[in-house]
Amino acid sequence: MQVWALILALLTPISAMWRLPSTGAPPQKVEIYERARTVPIAPAIKARAAIVLDLDTGKTLFQLDPHGRHAPASLTKVVTALVALDHLRLDETVAVPASINQLPWDSTRMGLRVGEHVTVRELMEGLFLDSGNDAAITLSEAATPRAAFVALMNAKAVALGMTDSHFVNPIGLDDPGHVTSAADLAKAAIALDARFPTVAAMAAAASLTLPASASHHAYALYNLNQLIRTYPGATGLKTGWTGRAGGCLIATATRDGAHLLVVVLGSPRIFEESAALLDFGFASV
């Protein structure tokens, strides 16, 4: 009998031997908790106005006095480009007018010379990289007489719903009547990318050399937007500065499939504050 008991013991499954006795209580419910997402903290900035938009959803991620009317400096040239492109083809050749010699001495320039003939494409590259006042004047006068061009800028603002804006020149020179808002400039930038993506893409180049031709000398262009060289994913768009406006910037960037737009007006540190707003925006999407 002892031998048979030993054999039966060896044939008994181990799980049965070590099964805990039932207590009669139901099994414990296991609850799984998802870790809460950290809410990003908006940066403290000294700009007078700013806005951050998610271009994929249209959602506003940050705003500071978004409809306040401020001097925009050379961010004006986004509207200048929109109006010029309504009347001129990129491959069209235009003459550089003598009026570029009347620009203020401290104007940003792409280096045009009176009487040269350049393409609209080349002028757009000088407009968005070097923020060329000479390029803006040449474009505006090639499209229509100056006064008519400014009227068209204001009509364009109305068409785009830029209700905070009024322009008096195509450059962005300081004038009490030359004002716009961060929200309005965002609308202009979105319109440029939607209608003229080739032109908007020009602003992603860190530098560019336009070779000499039979009608003009060579131009060495350098993008004034430091974020193109320092901020990963930066794609544009336009810089500006005047004594009244302070530092101004429309910045665009992409990261992990997300696309953001930042407008900063009246900032003492436009690139640092714009980068901080982009970081905040990407952390929020």
- Tell me the catalytic residues: 74, 77, 131
Which residues touch 179 (CB under 8 Å, ≥6 apart)? 69, 70, 71, 72, 164, 165, 166
Quick one: which of 141, 138, 99 has its CA closest to 216?
138
CA 192 to chain CA centroid, Å, is 11
3-state secondary structure of 208: strand
Quick one: which of 236, 241, 205 has its CA closest to 220?
205
Quick one: which of 93, 142, 100 has its CA closest to 118?
93
Tokens of 247: 């530092």
Which residues touch 153 (CB under 8 Å, ≥6 apart)? 79, 80, 83, 167, 170
**Residues 152, 144 contacting (CB under 8 angstroms):** yes
Q: How far apart are CA 201 and CA 275, in angstroms?
A: 19
C-alpha to C-alpha distances, 137 to 30, 96, 141, 151, nearest whole angstrom: 71, 9, 6, 15
C-alpha to C-alpha distances, 46 to 56, 64, 245, 274, nearest whole angstrom: 27, 10, 13, 11
**Residues 80, 140 contacting (CB under 8 angstroms):** yes
Quick one: which of 157, 176, 179, 170 has its CA closest to 69?
179
**Residues 231, 240 contacting (CB under 8 angstroms):** no
